[in-house]
Amino acid sequence: MNCPYCKHPDSRVVDTRAAEDGATIRRRRECPACGRRFTTYEVIEKLPLMVVKHDGRREPFKREKILQGLIRSCQKRNISMERLNALVNEVEREIRNTMVQEVPSSDIGELVMKKLKTFDGVAYIRFASVYRKFDDIGNFLEELKDLQQTKEQEEKKR
């Protein structure tokens, strides 16, 4: 790493820390020639990720779309933006860990629903009602029964 002050071609790493939930590495460096310190940031290069829509169109993955859906489903719930961002980070990390460059939108929706089911039951039902396009009360009731069974199974495990 070249020193930004004297342009010496080498520097010594003094301190290394993770930043932005581990997505960036912050390094404090010192130049052996002039003795000045400076900071560098290393960002993990992400593969471009495309979302394949139901009609076959492809568009770039946008975490903001997931966050907006979660905000709508968690409206008037006592859930902080910090927790919602953490949930979006989990979803994005799982998708990127598959190492595929094209992911069906249905896979993303199912993953979000799986996470929401244990995160907040009301938000899960709200999200599911839009995502699964409930067209009658029967669909809604089936989803509620499934959620109740999942909750009971979790309570038995404890």
> pLDDT of 44-56, one tens digit each?
777 789 999 999 9
The pair of three-digit structure tokens given for residue 7, joined into one six-digit string:
């342009």
Cα-atom radius of gyration of the chain, to the nearest Å?
22
Q: Among 35-44, 73-82, 102-111, 132-141, name the one with the lowest average pLDDT.
A: 132-141
What is the band of 1 on the pLDDT scale with cuts at 50, 70, 90? confident
CB 112 within 8 Å of CB 91: yes
What pLDDT is recorded for position 99?
A: 85
What pLDDT is recorded for position 128?
A: 83
What pLDDT is recorded for position 131?
A: 76
What pLDDT is recorded for position 63?
A: 92
Write out the DSSP string of 71-121.
HHHTTTSS--HHHHHHHHHHHHHHHHHTT-SEEEHHHHHHHHHHHHHHH-H
Q: Among 26-30, 43-47, 81-85, name the one with the lowest average pLDDT.
A: 43-47
Residue 106 CA: distances (Å) to CA of 43, 52, 111, 129, 139: 29, 9, 9, 14, 18
pTM equals 0.62
Compute the average pLDDT of residues 123-137: 79
Q: How far apart are CA 123 and CA 111, in angstroms?
A: 14
CB 69 within 8 Å of CB 127: yes
